Amino acid sequence: MSYQISIQKTQNPKSKPDADKLGFGLHFTDHMFVMDYTEGKGWHDPRIVPYGPITLDPSCMVFHYGQAVFEGLKAYKAADGRILLFRPQKNMERINISNDRLCIPPIDVDFAVEACKTLVNLEKDWIPEAEGTSLYIRPFIIATDPFLGVRPSLTYQFYIILSPVGAYYKEGINPVKIYVESNYVRAVKGGIGFAKTPGNYAASLKAQMDAKNIGYTQVLWLDGVEKKYIEEVGTMNVFFVINDEVVTPSLEGSILAGITRASTIELLKAEGIKVTERKISIEEVYEAHAAGTLKEAFGTGTAAVISPIGELNWNNNKIAINDGKIGEISKKVYDTITGIQSGKLKDTFGWIVEV
């Protein structure tokens, strides 16, 4: 199937936000991509239209039963003016993994990457250029049947919206304090934890708020059955450096397979560092800390890339990791991935797609 993207340009371009007041997810560009799905007809009518509110029937299935998926990636402007995307096919492959779990029809991966490129290219003046800034890309799909029965929708809309975002770390990389959650759980095997779907976020808010109220940035989730094994941290995958081994929880169906996670593993292996994907218990981390072998801990995700963990609190038992400073491996991964993303370092992995 071949698609032709129609483009309707805005008559009222917005003024761009100040470069130093971008924040995250606050500003949106002039245009968005939309495509429809109708049972029997498939995905059709791909178009770029002025960004703005959309009209949906209040009975649309997405509002009632949460049948929706999303993605997140970034476009960077290199010093030489090139526009770079970081592994966009991986995001569009993953949206199909999420689609499958949520009974949403798959999209054409290559076409979705093409749509992304077309939109980013049209909005290239919105890509901020200061160090650490980027254009955040949010593809998402929603169920649009106006119907209150419980079944998969027969119609959907696929959107891509863009948001210029500021540098995650303005004053150097600050390690975060993490609360180990032993009351609430995020997901269980067999559930939807491996899908990037809004329900997982709705389920996480309560724990997140409780942790914030007592001074923690995010929670570290434990497995939903025994509350013993480490899952992920907030909206990031998590890594621990114990002795000379880097350990990250294996993908068992309840955590998201992060693209930053996969890139971190690939990068460390290329550096000759031992990386193991396996079950790791919170007890093992505390024991390693007591034995002096827990060297670093960090989260990985598109927003921050690497977020070093400086403190863990598990049932009021607090431990400081690497004296609350960023570790050598965390720093190396951060510098390499952000260097490749921004075009400063040579991309020896074939991760970059030029717009």
Is 223 near ligand PLP (CB under 6 A)? no
Is 87 near ligand PLP (CB under 6 A)? no
Is 236 near ligand PLP (CB under 6 A)? yes
Residue count, binding to ligand PLP (CB under 6 A): 15
Q: Residue 302: left if φ>0, alpha if ψ -120 to 50, beta else—which one? A: alpha
By the 8 A CB rule, do 89 and 95 touch? no
Which among 228, 277, 205, 273 has a CA at the least distance from the CA of 248?
277
188's tokens: 């269980």
H-helix or E-strand containing 51?
A: none
Measured from the CB atom, the residue of 67 and 302 that comes closer to ligand PLP is 302
Query: In the complex, what is the shortest distance from the CB of residue 293 to ligand PLP, in angstroms, rounded to a whole number?
Result: 26
CA distance 238 to 178: 11
Measured from the CB atom, the residue of 68 and 288 that comes closer to ligand PLP is 68
The dihedral formed by the CA atoms of 98, 101, 104 and 109, expressed in degrees to the nearest 10: 40
Q: Which of the residues 267 through 286 are near ligand PLP (CB under 6 A)?
A: none
Is 256 near ligand PLP (CB under 6 A)? yes
H-helix or E-strand containing 345?
A: none
Sole binder of ligand PLP in the list 218, 248, 254, 260 (CB under 6 A): 260
CA distance 247 to 250: 9
Q: Name the one range near ligand PLP by CB under 6 A: 55-63, 229-237, 278-286, 310-318.
A: 229-237
Main-chain dihedrals φ then ψ at residue 143, nearest 5 degrees: -85, 125
Measured from the CB atom, the residue of 137 and 259 that comes closer to ligand PLP is 259
Query: In the complex, what is the shortest distance from the CB of residue 280 to ligand PLP, in angstroms, rounded to a whole number?
Result: 16
Sole binder of ligand PLP in the list 302, 313, 322, 330 (CB under 6 A): 302
CA distance 188 to 253: 8
Print the binding letters for residues 88-127 with ligand PLP: x by CB under 6 A, - otherwise. Answer: ----------------------------------------
Query: In the complex, what is the shortest distance from the CB of residue 116 to ligand PLP, in angstroms, rounded to a whole number?
Result: 15
Is 237 near ligand PLP (CB under 6 A)? yes
By the 8 A CB rule, do 126 and 29 touch? yes
Measured from the CB atom, the residue of 48 and 230 that comes closer to ligand PLP is 230
Query: In the complex, what is the shortest distance from the CB of residue 221 to ligand PLP, in angstroms, rounded to a whole number?
Result: 9
Which amino acid is present at 288? Answer: A
By the 8 A CB rule, do 33 and 47 touch? yes
Is 232 near ligand PLP (CB under 6 A)? yes
Query: In the complex, what is the shortest distance from the CB of residue 260 to ligand PLP, in angstroms, rounded to a whole number?
Result: 3
Measured from the CB atom, the residue of 31 and 90 that comes closer to ligand PLP is 90
What distances in angstroms separate CA 310 from CA 95, 217, 303, 317, 319, one per listed residue?
Answer: 32, 11, 18, 14, 8
Query: In the complex, what is the shortest distance from the CB of residue 144 to ligand PLP, in angstroms, rounded to a whole number?
Result: 23
Is 289 near ligand PLP (CB under 6 A)? no
Tokens 């093409």 locate to 114
CA distance 342 to 84: 7
By the 8 A CB rule, do 241 and 329 touch? yes
Residues that bind ligand PLP (CB under 6 A): 72, 196, 200, 232, 235-237, 256, 258-261, 300-302
